[in-house]
Amino acid sequence: MANQFSFPQRVLEPIGNFLNREIKKLETRKKNLKKEDPFSNPARVTDSASPDTDAAEQFGHARVEAMRREVDRKLIAVRKALARIKIGKYGLCEDCGQMIDTDRLMVKPEATLCIKCERKREK
């Protein structure tokens, strides 16, 4: 049974603005992570580094890649929340259709699941 609740535009507008600012911050973070990746250094190809330097570069690359994947996941979630605002489904659980608790949305504005449904998915 889907709930037909939707937030008024005066509430959604600041949330949308916040989410758009989040996208800009995440995109900037992603660009900065690319610069931090030791594999992006063009001198690396011609460098005859010792094995311990190579290991440090491998570790640094793996760390940066993990952080970039997390930024990508967050970007997708934020874009999805913005899309849900546009189609009038923001704040409704995409599994059960019930309203997501507003306290949850305050902490995680990109949430698309109520806490009950998120816990079910985690099992």
Element (H or E) spanning 3, and its range?
Answer: none
9-122 CATH choice from 2.60.120.260, 1.25.40.80, 1.20.120.910, 3.40.50.300: 1.20.120.910
pTM: predicted TM-score of the whole model, two decimal places: 0.77
**How confident is the model at residue 1, as a pLDDT?**
44
pLDDT (tens, 9 = 90+) of the chain, 123 residues, equals 445 677 888 889 999 999 999 999 999 999 999 888 877 765 555 555 566 667 777 878 888 899 999 999 999 999 999 999 999 999 999 999 999 999 999 999 999 999 999 999 998
Would you state the pLDDT for residue 6? 76
Domain ranges across the chain: 9-122
Indicate the burial class of 10 (C-beta count within 10 angstroms; 0-12, 13-18, 19 or more): exposed
First to last CA, the chain: 23
